[in-house]
Structure 1
Amino acid sequence: MRVEHHWWNGDIRLARRDVYVRTDGEVWEVEAQMGGPQGKSKVQQCPGKASALILADAWRGPRWQWRKL
């Protein structure tokens, strides 16, 4: 799987959040990660790119100042 999109909320402490959109060319998935690499994460498979981007947008929400990496 390659990372197509990665957003970060800009917090380097415990409130760090990352959202990834990945694909292998056929399967698309979105991962929401809380607390950095050692924190919790949730992965959801999606039927296509459009639905993966919609889900990633929903998981980011309006609360943070997200940065695209």
Structure 2
Amino acid sequence: MRVEQHWWNGDVRLSRRDVYVRTDGTTWEVEAQMGGPQGKSKVQQCPGKASALILADAWRGPRWRWRQI
């Protein structure tokens, strides 16, 4: 899977959050990661790019100042 989109909330401490949209060209998934690489994460499969981007937007929410990487 390759990363199509990656957002980061800009926090380097325990409240760091990352949201990834990935695809292999056929399947799409969104991963929400909390606490950096050693933290918790949740992955959701999506039927297509549009639904993956909608889910990623919902998982980011308005609380943080997200940066696209």
TM range (shorter): over 0.9
Return the TM-score normalized by structure 1: 1.00
RMSD, matched Cα: 0.1
**Following TM superposition, by how much is the alpha carbon of 1:8 offset from its aligned partner in structure 2, in angstroms?**
0.0
User: How far apart are 1:14 and its partner, in Å?
Assistant: 0.2
- Distance in 2, matches of 1:15 and 1:24, equals 29
- What are structure 1's unaligned runs of at least 5 residues? none
Pairs aligned (count): 69
What is the rounded CA distance, in whole Å, between the counterparts of 1:18 and 1:40 in structure 2? 11
2:62 corresponds in structure 1 to: 62
Partner of 1:41: 41
Instruction: Give the TM-score of the pair, scaled to structure 2.
Output: 1.00
Long gaps (5+) in structure 2: none
Q: Percent identity?
A: 88
